[in-house]
């Protein structure tokens, strides 16, 4: 059974690319276009991995990560920032905020699935093939 992956991203183009790449490699991601909807889906679906944009209107990625970490039933869920924030100190701030890591934007389609699989529990990671 493929890993349960939740993508929380407010940008339509980014969401479509991420969803396409995940589906092309056998995943069936849940999609949320806002932080609040993402938190609700995380609680309801209990994904093993959340791919989370940092800069979103309303509830930003840091607030979403804190909300997810506040739910005991999501304690084992890995939360990965998908962000264009690559300035000095951004990585440290992301990790300090409770993220398990980050994937840098713009998304590199050639490397994206391998990067995602790094964060999946080993029993759920599978060999990716290019579409």
At the fourth CATH level, the homologous superfamily of domain 5-84+96-106 is Response regulator (3.40.50.2300)
- pLDDT more than 70, % of the chain: 92
Q: Choose among 82, 97, 76: nearest CA to 31.
A: 82
What's the pLDDT at 54?
94
pLDDT grade for 129, boundaries at 50, 70 and 90 = very low
What residues does each domain of the chain span?
A: 5-84+96-106
State pLDDT tens for residues 82-125. Answer: 998 767 788 888 989 989 999 999 999 999 999 999 999 776 66
> pTM above 0.75?
yes
């Amino acid at each position: 059974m493929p890993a349960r992956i939740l993508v929380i991203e407010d940008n339509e183009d980014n969401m479509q690319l991420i969803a396409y790449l995940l589906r092309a490699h056998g995943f069936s991601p849940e999609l949320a276009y806002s932080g609040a909807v993402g938190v609700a889906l995380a609680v309801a679906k209990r994904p093993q991995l959340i791919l989370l944009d940092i800069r979103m209107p309303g509830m930003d990625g840091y607030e979403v990560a804190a909300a997810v970490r506040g739910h005991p039933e999501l304690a084992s869920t890995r939360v990965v920032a998908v962000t264009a924030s690559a300035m000095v100190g951004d990585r440290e701030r992301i990790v300090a905020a409770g993220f398990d890591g980050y994937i840098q934007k713009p998304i590199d389609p050639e490397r994206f699935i391998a990067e995602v699989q790094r964060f999946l529990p080993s029993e759920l990671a599978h060999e990716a093939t290019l579409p």
